[in-house]
Amino acid sequence: MSMVQLFTGLNISASGLRAMRVRQNLIASNIANAETTRTAEGGPYKRQTAVLRADSTEVNPRLVIKDASMLGATTNAHHLPIPSDLFQVQNDKVGSGVTVDRIAQDETPPKLVYDPSHPDANSDGYVAYPNINVVQEMVDLISTTRAYEANTTAMGSAKSMLTKALEI
């Protein structure tokens, strides 16, 4: 086992932590700008979301090794051979985490609110507000926080297993 494989679990969890941190920052920005009617680009603030994608997958070498020492033995002629042809393990791939592919802007039309005294009101007296639902943003924040906590727990478990392995 190489050093890279030894830390695979930690690396996957770390990539999840990074992705969830980006999502949390975007959600905070969305909530903070929920009533921003004028931006440098012109028009109201546009909701931003993180588009995530799986990191490139890699073949797990332990699943594709064709070595006599990996074949195993049976104690009875009626047992399935190890590995069995019934359970294909060739070319199985393992993920190596997640990454933020891009930051996308929501192109949903803005909410129009009638307020002719507002400095950003159009000729009909309507102000274009960002189409941000703060309740939905809070739900997304809770979900993102739970995912962050899950990655933290997985990282702690991997760390504990590595520490126990060093004690052996």
pTM as predicted: 0.73
Token output for 91: 């070319």
- pLDDT of 74 reads 56
> Does residue 75 have a pLDDT over 90?
no
CA distance 59 to 111: 48
Strands (E), the chain: 48-54, 58-59, 93-94, 98-105, 111-114, 126-129
What lies within 8 Å, CB to CB, of 86 at 6+ separation is 80
Average pLDDT of span 110-115: 94
CA distance 94 to 87: 17
Average pLDDT of span 16-45: 94
CA distance 97 to 34: 32
pLDDT band at 93 (very low <50, low <70, confident <90, very high): low
- pLDDT of 102 reads 94
